[in-house]
Amino acid sequence: MIGMKPWLLGAMLFSTLCAEEFNYDETKVSPYVLPLLFEHKDGTPAMSASLWQQQRRAEIVSLLEKEMFGKAPPRPALRFRVMEAATPALGGKALRQQVRVFFSSKDDPALDLLVYRPAQHSKPAPVIFGLNFKGNQSVQADPAILLCRSWIDNKDLKKPDVHHALEESRGIDAGKWPMAYAIERGYAVVTGYYGDIDPDVDDGWKNGVHALFPENESQRNAESWGSLAAWAWGMSVAMDWIVQEPSLDGKRVALQGFSRLGKATLWAAACDERFAAVISQNSGAGGAALNKRIFGETVGRLNRSFPHWFCGNFRQYSDNEAAMPFDSHFLLALAAPRPLLITSATEDRWADPHGEFLAARATNPVYQLFSHTGLTATEMPAPGKLVNDRIGYFLRQGPHSVTEEDWKAYCDFCDRHMPFNP
């Protein structure tokens, strides 16, 4: 390669990527062996709930930290600034609040949190909290929502070269955030923009929260944190605010995330046991789907397309999933014994809905240690039918997205496993 013209190298790389093929045929999934979550002796589990909590869980967190996500620094002392005190919204059914969370003495980066909570509750409200993809102003067409101040991708608005939030982006993702519905179901919704934590570009760790820790960044190695670990870290930052906010019930916070944020959600729940329930939607490879099935997106494709998401060590499993000493059931098991809802969509073959279902099933042994049944369904349920177990599974008819139907499943799941008396 030395001496090769950069354009030739680029062209070769491009053609290699274009030639990449992905399997969507269940009959072509080769046999694979899933690593055991814990040892068995003479066919019986050499494990107990307390041993899991005191030892095995921590071993798996360290393994995934080292091999997949990288190590995040401890969260610094945070500063909170009220940007908007509780104000009637959504026709008086909700109260809207906005707060800015500073990670350091600097004004940037900072995470803007937007809250809608039911106006009628006399007690602190249970929460569904999730980061959004396009800025807080995108989740509702509400002119009072502060416009995002961070780097943003405006491809959807056909302005790929503009990287600040535009007025016209107000409400563009409202379909994914049916606030009025969640409020009617009795839940507060808290959201923040994932790019406030780390803009989703491979920029050599110059922006976002990585740049707040220059000493770590100058010594980057194969175990240093990537963007997924940063978004997970940011989810815990938001939780630091939620738990001290009197109008919200910090003991009833369900963490939700979609797609790449569904991957980050699983890791955040693994690192932070304050989240009472976990909802990971269409998270696919590197998330809930079993990577060893090599169905749809692969580890190699993840690492090549998004080199900033995982830590350097994860690259050793590119096109080499068989060598992974873990799979997604390890990640899911770190949610135990908390309620965990995995959701998929029928047309989202890239994210391998069946692989997500199988991983949820493979997680059952850990839930059983805690006398929970885990996911009881042995076959994929029909689309639209929520399996409302302690490990829940929901397959929506349709594409990779989030809809009100998904939120209905979230609320039904939370009603059962995170009950609340208003």
Structure tokens at 336: 């135990």
| Region of 347 on the Ramachandran plot (φ > 0 left; ψ -120 to 50 alpha; else beta) | alpha
Residues within window 220-259 making contact with ligand GCU, judged by CB under 6 A: 259
The answer to whether 173 contacts ligand GCU (rule: CB under 6 A) is: no
The answer to whether 356 contacts ligand GCU (rule: CB under 6 A) is: no
Tell me, yes or no, if 48 is annotated catalytic: no
Could you give phi then psi for residue 117, rounded to 5 degrees? Answer: -130, 150
Residue 422, CA distances (Å) to 249, 250, 361 in order: 11, 15, 33
Comparing CB distances to ligand GCU, the nearer of 88 and 399 is 399
Comparing CB distances to ligand GCU, the nearer of 285 and 375 is 285
Count of residues interacting with ligand GCU (CB under 6 A): 7
The answer to whether 288 contacts ligand GCU (rule: CB under 6 A) is: no
The answer to whether 284 contacts ligand GCU (rule: CB under 6 A) is: yes
Residue with tokens 């608005």: 157
The answer to whether 134 contacts ligand GCU (rule: CB under 6 A) is: no
Structure tokens at 102: 């500073």
Comparing CB distances to ligand GCU, the nearer of 21 and 379 is 21
Give which of 303, 398, 298 is closest to 350, Cα–Cα: 298
Closest separation between CB of residue 304 and ligand GCU, Å?
A: 10
The answer to whether 303 contacts ligand GCU (rule: CB under 6 A) is: no
Instruction: Identify whether the C-beta of residue 270 lies closer than 8 Å to the C-beta of residue 336.
Output: no
Give which of 235, 267, 225 is closest to 132, Cα–Cα: 235
- Tell me how far apart the alpha carbons of residues 129 and 185 are, in angstroms, rounded to a whole number: 15
Q: Which of 285, 288, 395, 418 binds ligand GCU (CB under 6 A)?
A: 285
Closest separation between CB of residue 326 and ligand GCU, Å?
A: 18
Q: How far apart are the first and last CA of the chain?
A: 66
Structure tokens at 108: 């940037």
- Tell me how far apart the alpha carbons of residues 88 and 343 are, in angstroms, rounded to a whole number: 32
Closest separation between CB of residue 283 and ligand GCU, Å?
A: 6
Comparing CB distances to ligand GCU, the nearer of 178 and 296 is 296
The answer to whether 138 contacts ligand GCU (rule: CB under 6 A) is: no
**Binding track, positions 308-347, relative to ligand GCU; x by CB under 6 A:** ----------------------------------------
Helices 260-271 and 57-64 sit at what angle, rounded to 10 degrees? 140
Tell me, yes or no, if 121 is annotated catalytic: no
CB proximity list for 378: less than 8 A, separation 6 or greater? 361
Closest separation between CB of residue 261 and ligand GCU, Å?
A: 7
Closest separation between CB of residue 38 and ligand GCU, Å?
A: 28
Structure tokens at 21: 């093929």
Comparing CB distances to ligand GCU, the nearer of 302 and 387 is 302
Distance of CA 124 to the CA centre of its chain: 25
Q: Which letter, b or e, does each residue of 189-213 get, where b requires 16 or more Cβ atoms within 10 Å of its Cβ?
A: bbbbbbbbbbbbeeeebebbbbbeb
SS3 396: strand
Enumerate the β-bridge partners of residue 258: 281
The answer to whether 297 contacts ligand GCU (rule: CB under 6 A) is: yes
- Tell me how far apart the alpha carbons of residues 97 and 118 are, in angstroms, rounded to a whole number: 12
Which is the catalytic residue, given 104, 163, 236, 400?
400
The answer to whether 361 contacts ligand GCU (rule: CB under 6 A) is: no
Which is the catalytic residue, given 259, 283, 328, 344?
259
Comparing CB distances to ligand GCU, the nearer of 201 and 212 is 201
Closest separation between CB of residue 248 and ligand GCU, Å?
A: 27
Q: Which of 149, 176, 260, 408 binds ligand GCU (CB under 6 A)?
A: 260
Comparing CB distances to ligand GCU, the nearer of 305 and 376 is 305
Closest separation between CB of residue 328 and ligand GCU, Å?
A: 13
Residues that bind ligand GCU (CB under 6 A): 259-260, 284-285, 297, 302, 350
Query: What are the catalytic residues?
Result: 259, 400
